[in-house]
Structure 1
Amino acid sequence: MRTDIATALPFPSQGTPRREAAARARVRLEPTRRGRLLVTVLAFVLGLLVAAAVLLSVDLPAMAGTESEQPLTVTVETGDTLWGYADQYAPEGMSAQEFVAQARLHNQLPTGRITAGQEIQLPVLGGETR
C-alpha cells in the first residue's frame, strides 16, 4: 500500500500585514469598456430626461414672442422693389440695407430682384413697422 504525504497550508490570519494593506490602499480600480459605455449611456439618458422636463415646464410660445414677430408674407405687384418694402415695413432702427439683406437671406434670393406675382416673406424683427 502506498501513502503520499500531503502538505497542509495554514489558514490565513485575520489581520493582514501592514505591507499588504498599504498595497491594497493604492490599488486603483478602473471600469471596463462595458462599464464606461454604461455610465455614458446613463448620463445621456439622464440629460435627455432633464431636457424634456425643462421643455415641458417652460412656456416656449411666450418666450418666442408675439405673432407680429413672424415674417410677413407679401405678393409682389408690378413696380415693387425690396427697397420700397424696406421703406414701408422695416422696423425702427433697422436700415433699408439691413432689411433688404435680411429679406434676401430669408427668401434665398441670389439678387435683390423680385418679380410680379412672386410671394416673399418680409422680416419683421421685434418691433413695429414704420
Structure 2
Amino acid sequence: MRTETAAVLPFPQRRTEPGEGVGRANVRLEVSRRGRLVLMMIAFVLGLLVAAAALLAFDVPFALADSEDEQQVTVTVEAGDTLWGYAEQYAPEGMSPHEFVTEARNLNHLSTGRITAGQQIELPAAEGAAH
C-alpha cells in the first residue's frame, strides 16, 4: 500500500484596512418569499402612516365633508306650507321647482311630498338665500 501526501494550500487572505468590513466577493443575496412579504407589509404600513399624516396636515376630512351643509336652509314648517311653496321661495337659480321638491324629499328622507306643521326640514338653497 502506497500513500502519497498532498500539499494543502491555505485560502488566499485579503488584507483589510482598519474599519473596512470583511465581505465575500461575487456573492448574490436574494430575498426569500417571507422576506418579500415582510418588506411589503412594512411598505404598506408606512404608506398608511404617510396617508394619515397627509390627511391630517392638509385637513382633507374637512374638504371631503358634505359641502351641501353650507347650501342648505333649515325651516320649521308652518300651517299651510308646502314643498312647492318653498320651491318658489328658496329654489336656487337654474333649479326647477320639481327638482327642488325631489331634492328636498331626498335630503329629509320623505317618502311623499307631504309635510306637517312644526316639522323641521332642510331645503337645498343657493348661498346667500333668505332664511
**TM-score of the superposed pair, with normalisation by structure 2:** 0.60
In structure 2, the residue matched to 1:92 is: 93
What is the rounded CA distance, in whole Å, between the counterparts of 1:70 and 1:93 in structure 2?
Answer: 15
Is the CA contact 1:68–1:124 (under 8 Å) kept in the aligned structure 2? Answer: no
**TM-score of the superposed pair, with normalisation by structure 1:** 0.60
Q: Report Cα offsets for 1:23-47 as digits up to 9, x if no partner.
A: xx9xxx67425732x3443233223
| Amino acid in the other structure paired with 2:70 | E
Query: Structure 1 residue 74: deviation in Å?
Result: 0.8
Query: Structure 1 residue 120: deviation in Å?
Result: 0.7
Q: Secondary structure at the match of 1:56?
A: helix
Q: Report Cα offsets for 1:43-70 as digits up to 9, x if no partner.
A: 3322322222322332555787989824
In structure 1, the residue matched to 2:48 is: 48
| Amino acid in the other structure paired with 2:58 | V
Closer, same or farther in 2 for the Cα pair 1:79/1:40, shift >3 Å? farther
| Amino acid in the other structure paired with 1:52 | A
In structure 1, the residue matched to 2:108 is: 107
Q: Percent identity?
A: 56
Closer, same or farther in 2 for the Cα pair 1:56/1:87, shift >3 Å? same
1:117 matched to 2:108? The reply is no
1:76 matched to 2:66? The reply is no
Closer, same or farther in 2 for the Cα pair 1:40/1:76, shift >3 Å? farther
| Amino acid in the other structure paired with 2:51 | A
Where structure 2 has 5 or more consecutive residues not aligned to the other structure, the ranges are 1-7, 13-27
